[in-house]
Amino acid sequence: MLDVTTATVSDRKALRINPAKTCQPIGAMYAALGIHSCMPHSHGSQGCCSYHRSHLTRHFKEPVAATTSSFTEGTSVFGGMANLQQALVNIFSIYDPEVVAVHTTCLSEVIGDDIPTIIKKSREEGKIPDGKIVIHANTPSFVGSNVTGFSNMCTGIVSYLAEKSGLSNGSINIFPGWLDPSDMRELKRLADALTVPFTLCPDTSDVLDLPQTGVYEMYPKGGTPVASIKGMGDAIATLALGEFTAYPSAQKLLDMHAVPFEKLDAPIGLTNTDNYIDALRRLGDVEVPAWIDAERGRLLDVISDIGQYFHQVPVAIFGDPDMVVGLTRFAIELGLYPKYIFTGATGRAFETRIKELLGDKYPDTVVRHGADLFELHERIKGEPVKLIFGNTYGKYIARAEDIPLVRFGFPILDRVGHRMFPVVGYRGAMHLVEKISDALLNHRDRTCAEEWFELVQ
C-alpha cells in the first residue's frame, strides 16, 4: 500500500499526510466521560459527534454516549444558541445527568457562539434544572489536537467546579493526563497502597472498562464525583502527570485556589514510576509498603532477564506527547536506541523535553513535533529501525517494511486488551517489557536463517 514512499524526506511546510494526532473534541469528550454522571455534549453538527463517539468506541470497545446540538445550514447562519438551549432541555429531561460538559467544534467556533453566555441565559430561563451543572471547553478542530482538547476540558472542569472552603482536607489531587482506564485504575491502586487520601480527575475507570453484566448503564459507578472535584480547592497539593495534558489544569487550580503542584512525567517505566511513588510518599508523609518495593524488584528482574536482546536496538516512537515522553525514558532504561521520536501535536516544549532525556548519548535521534507518519515512513525507508511503537495507524508502515509494531497509545482500533492492561506503574512496565520482547523475538523466529532458529532464546 505504501510502496511508493521513498527514502527522500520531502520538504513540506503546509501539508500533513496522515498526521500523528486527531482533533480536539475527541479529547474533550474523553475527559468529560471521566466525571461521574456526566453527559458530553458536542456543540456542532451530528456528523462531528458521530465521528468522535465512534472513534472512542472503537478504541475502548465500549458504547460511548454523547449528545449534539445538531447544527443545520440555518444554525450556521443565525448561531447555535437556540439549538444548545433546546438540547439542554432535552438532555436533562430524557437522560438526567448530573453534569453536561459542552465542547465546541469547528463550526460553532467559526460562527462565534459565546458558550458561557448561552449557559448563563439558559440557567436564568430555567432551562437548566436546579442542582444540575453545565460546564464547557472551547475545542475547535482546526487548531490543536486531541491532547489540547483533553487538556482544555480538564481545565474547564477545574474552572467550573473546584472550590475552596479555607479548610484543608489533607488530600492530594492527581491529574493523570490522557491514560486508558486500566492506567487510571493502576494509579489509584498505588495511591491506595500508600494510604494517601487523593482525588483522581478525570477518572475513566469503571466507565469505559465495565464488566459484562448484560445490563446497560448510561452512568456507571465510575468517574470522579462532583463533590470530590469541588473539594480539590482544599487539597494540600496536586500531582500533574504530563506536561501537555495535566499541567494546564494544575496551573489553573493554583491560580484559582493557591493549591501548589508538582510536575511529573506520565509514570511509564521504572524512573517515572519511582517519581510518582516518591511524590505520594513525601506529600502524604507515609512509608512505602514492602510489597511495592518487591513489585519494583520484579520489574528489575524482568529487565535483567531480557535486557541482552534490547541493547542498542533502534526504535521509532510516535503518538501523543506525554505518552511518548514517558515511553522514550523507558526505552532508554531498557537499552533500546530511540532513533525517531515523533508527535503530531505542536509545541517546542516536546522537543525540549525529549532532548533533555536523550542528553548527548543519542546524537543522531530525529525528534519532531507537528509531524506526520508519511515523514516517519520516509525516514525509516532511509535508515530502518527494528521496532515501532505507536497506535494502530503505524501498522501500514510496519507491514510495508516488515517491522514489528508494539501498539501503544491512542487510538488502538484493531486489537483488544489495551484498556484492561496498564502500561503505567511497575506492573504496566512489566507488561510493556513482555510486549516488546515478544514482538522482537517473534520477528526473529519468523525471519532468521534455519540454522539460527533456536528452541531457547
The DSSP letter of residue 80 is S
Assess contact for 70 and 51: CB atoms under 8 A. no
> Please, which residues have CB within 8 angstroms of residue 117's CB and are 6 or more apart in sequence?
none
Q: Is the dihedral of CA 327, 312, 354, 254 positive or negative?
A: positive
Q: How crowded is residue 127: how many other Cβ atoms within 10 Å of its Cβ?
A: 18
- C-alpha angle with apex 105: 393 to 42, nearest 5 degrees? 95
Q: Is the dihedral of CA 108, 113, 119, 121 positive or negative?
A: negative
Assess contact for 304 and 298: CB atoms under 8 A. no
Q: Which one of the listed residues 23, 38, 106, 196 is annotated catalytic?
A: 106
The H-assigned helical ranges of 2-72 are: 24-32, 46-60
Round to whole Å and give the CA distance between 306 and 297: 15
Assess contact for 334 and 306: CB atoms under 8 A. no
Neighbour order of strands in the sheet with 38-43: 67-68, 38-43, 99-104, 133-137
Establish whether 367 is a catalytic residue.
Answer: no
- Grid cell 487538556 in the structure block, residue: 151
Assess contact for 335 and 386: CB atoms under 8 A. no
Angle between the N-to-C axes of helices 146-161 and 24-32, in degrees from 0 to 180, rounded to the nearest 10? 40
Ordered DSSP codes for 97-116: -SEEEEEE-HHHHHHT--HH
Establish whether 9 is a catalytic residue.
Answer: no
Residues labelled as active-site residues: 106, 110
